[in-house]
Amino acid sequence: EIFEPLILSCSFQVAKHDVKENGNVILMYIFQETKGVIATISKGQPFAYSTEPRHTFAQGNIGDEKLNKSYLQVTRKNPNSLESGKYFCLAHVRDSAGKDKVFHASIKINIEKSNSDDLVPALGRVLERLDRIEERQEATEQKIVDAQEDFNIQIKNLSIVLDQEKPEKEEALGRVLERLDRIEERQEATEQKIVDAQEDFNIQIGNLSSVLDQEKPKKEEDNVLCNAGFHKITDGQISACVWVSNVSMNYIQARDDCKEKGAHLLTLKTQEKFTLLHKNDPGRYLWIGLTDRLIEDIFKWDDDNSICNPLCRGRLFSTGEPNDSGGEEDCVVYYPIRMKLNDNNC
């Protein structure tokens, strides 16, 4: 966790003796059993797409010919233990008859939580990275100095040019301006490298701090995490502060009541959160912060407007749901008997 990157690589290639039976790859994607699709690439798409570009880097290529390998790879620099689970790779292939086939593979990954014992080797790796960052920073700073010196030389040359004949002035001035443009581009690029290196440094320091914080003995006041009126529910290391109303409300009233309390309706984006609700089942119907009120059949979470994709819906909803019965079911309810979700009239 945190210190070791998670790299998943998925590839597909038609075996030479199966060329007649198989066709071309149309689409590849990687998804995780609780988070859903995390990366995709399709035929004609120049770049792989990550559903979490700030945290996950994706790259890949769909082979143009039958014997060319197609691949999709994702890299997550700072994974956490909650990302443990089963990961799937799927390749949609169209054969010579125009029929689509789906090939798949899976792998189960366990990401262990970091502790103080991990700090020694991790700190050594971080220090090595810091040395490289400092070397890159010194090199980029030197490039900036060189660019500034080059700029000053060009200014002097420009002064000389102004004393020449007009046609020669214009031609020489054009060359100088072109070089100045290139110098400015180089300077911007080197400054960006310094910013990137500093951000990388801050991330690593933050990771070390988070592990140290986890290892500190918890103070009594640290256990009091919930606002007045809320109570804490836990399942292992997962916890949440909840407030359950004793008054029946419709969806709009419940949503607004939560906002007034500085909270939001319950969201269940991960299997861990759903399990947390199961083990602390209040035994009553609950409004969930998930609706398709804006666009029919596009269910979005209230707290961040992210989409609950088909895999998410298959995991959370009862069989045959959501079905928009009567064309008026745009909000989502937790059913305690089924321990699943169902769409309902708001």
Show pLDDT as tens, one digit a residue, over the chain (346 residues).
666 788 999 998 876 655 555 578 888 999 888 778 889 998 887 788 888 777 788 999 888 765 578 899 999 877 887 888 899 999 888 877 778 788 889 999 988 877 666 666 666 766 777 777 778 777 777 777 777 777 777 677 666 655 555 556 566 666 767 776 777 777 777 667 666 666 666 566 566 555 555 554 444 334 547 888 888 888 877 888 888 888 899 999 999 999 999 899 999 888 788 888 878 877 788 999 999 988 888 899 988 888 888 878 888 888 889 998 888 899 999 988 778 899 999 9
Residues 48 and 292: their CA atoms lie apart, in Å, by 28
Nearest to 296 by CA among 251, 341, 332, 327: 327
130: domain range? 114-198
Nearest to 332 by CA among 270, 250, 260: 250
- The last residue of a domain, from among 156, 177, 198: 198
In a domain? residue 220: no
Q: In the prediction, which pLDDT does 254 show? A: 93
CATH number at residue 71: 2.60.40.10
In a domain? residue 156: yes
Contact (CB, 8 A) for 2 and 211:
yes
Element holding 47 (H helix, E strand): none
Contacts of 45 (CB under 8 A, 6+ apart): 62
Q: Are residues 330 and 254 in the same domain?
A: yes
Residues 181 and 174: their CA atoms lie apart, in Å, by 11
> Is 268 strand, coil or helix?
coil
Nearest to 90 by CA among 44, 32, 45: 32
Contact (CB, 8 A) for 62 and 28:
yes
Q: Are residues 137 and 187 in the same domain?
A: yes
Residues 42 and 26: their CA atoms lie apart, in Å, by 6
In a domain? residue 283: yes
CATH number at residue 305: 3.10.100.10
Residues 266 and 254: their CA atoms lie apart, in Å, by 11
Q: Are residues 105 and 120 in the same domain?
A: no
Residues 328 and 291: their CA atoms lie apart, in Å, by 12
In order of 6, 53, 124, 286, 307, the CA distances from 58 in angstroms are 12, 8, 28, 37, 20
Token pair of 150 as six digits: 């080059």
User: What global pTM score does this model have?
Assistant: 0.40
Q: Are residues 41 and 77 in the same domain?
A: yes
Q: Are residues 127 and 83 in the same domain?
A: no
Contacts of 49 (CB under 8 A, 6+ apart): 39, 40, 41, 58
Token pair of 95 as six digits: 């054969």
In the chain, how many H helices and how many E strands? 5, 14
Residues 153 and 144: their CA atoms lie apart, in Å, by 14
CA angle 187, 188, 189 (to 5 degrees): 90
Contact (CB, 8 A) for 223 and 241:
no
Contacts of 235 (CB under 8 A, 6+ apart): 272, 275, 276, 279, 280
Q: Are residues 119 and 107 in the same domain?
A: no
Token pair of 252 as six digits: 């709009």
Q: Are residues 80 and 15 in the same domain?
A: yes
Question: What is the tally of structural domains in the chain?
Answer: 3
In a domain? residue 1: no
Token pair of 22 as six digits: 């198989």
